[in-house]
């Protein structure tokens, strides 16, 4: 009977040790998950900062970017002032006109719907992302129509003052 108590006591100790080791392993895996999640969140946050800095010229809220012009030749935000397909002329809020070329691969969106270039109208507010060309125009990769922009372009300002 003494041996049975000894073996059951040693079996109980083994079970307790295994349970403690299992808890430690679970806690280590949980801690590793926290570290990975923290690093991913940090990367995502820094990437968000860079996205707005590169595309919108500084740290802004997600909607602020829509009402700012791009600082380089890779895009434009403004109103369409002239359409001569496959070319658009877009005027930004500073009055700078940018020439945009629509290619067959260009994606044009109005809300969730993809539209054809012929559906664009003079006066539409647009966000354009593309690539600069040798002739100082933008070869559009994506054109997204926006709700009407609240600023008045120089074309509109002169027509309302007369």
What digits encode the pLDDT tens for the residues 53-63?
444 444 445 55
Report which DSSP code applies to 133.
Answer: -
Over residues 5-12, mean pLDDT = 73
Task: Tell me the pairing of strands 113-114 and 75-84.
Answer: unpaired
Beta strands, E only, 66-117: 75-84, 87-91, 97-110, 113-114
Predicted model pTM:
0.50
**pLDDT in the model for residue 153:** 46
Over residues 70-92, mean pLDDT = 83
> In the predicted model, is pLDDT for residue 78 greater than 60?
yes
CATH of 69-149, one of 3.40.50.970, 2.40.50.140, 3.30.70.330, 1.25.40.10: 2.40.50.140
Over residues 4-9, mean pLDDT = 67
102: closest CA among 121, 81, 116, 113? 116
Other Cβ atoms less than 10 A from the Cβ of 70: the count is 21
pLDDT tens digits along 31-76: 999 988 887 777 666 655 555 444 444 444 555 555 554 444 578 8
By CB neighbour count within 10 A (0-12 exposed, 13-18 middle, 19+ buried), where does 79 fall? buried
**pLDDT in the model for residue 132:** 84
Please, where are the H alpha helices in the chain? 2-56, 154-161
Q: Distances in Å between the alpha carbon of 101 and those of 47, 106, 120? A: 29, 9, 13
């Amino acid at each position: 009977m003494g041996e049975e108590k000894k073996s059951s006591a040693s079996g109980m100790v083994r079970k307790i040790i295994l349970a403690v080791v299992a808890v430690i392993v679970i806690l280590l895996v949980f801690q590793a998950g926290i570290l990975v999640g923290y690093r991913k969140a940090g990367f995502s946050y820094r990437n968000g900062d860079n996205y707005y800095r590169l595309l919108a010229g500084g740290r802004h809220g997600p909607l602020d970017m829509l009402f700012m012009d791009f600082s380089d030749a890779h895009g434009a935000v403004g109103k369409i002032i002239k359409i001569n397909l496959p070319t658009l002329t877009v005027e930004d809020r500073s009055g700078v006109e940018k020439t945009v070329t629509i290619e067959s691969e260009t994606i044009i969106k109005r809300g969730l719907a993809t539209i054809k270039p012929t559906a664009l109208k003079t006066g539409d507010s647009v966000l354009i992302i593309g690539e600069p060309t040798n002739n100082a125009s933008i070869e559009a990769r994506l054109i997204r129509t926006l709700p009407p922009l609240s600023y008045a372009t120089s074309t509109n300002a002169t027509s309302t003052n007369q």
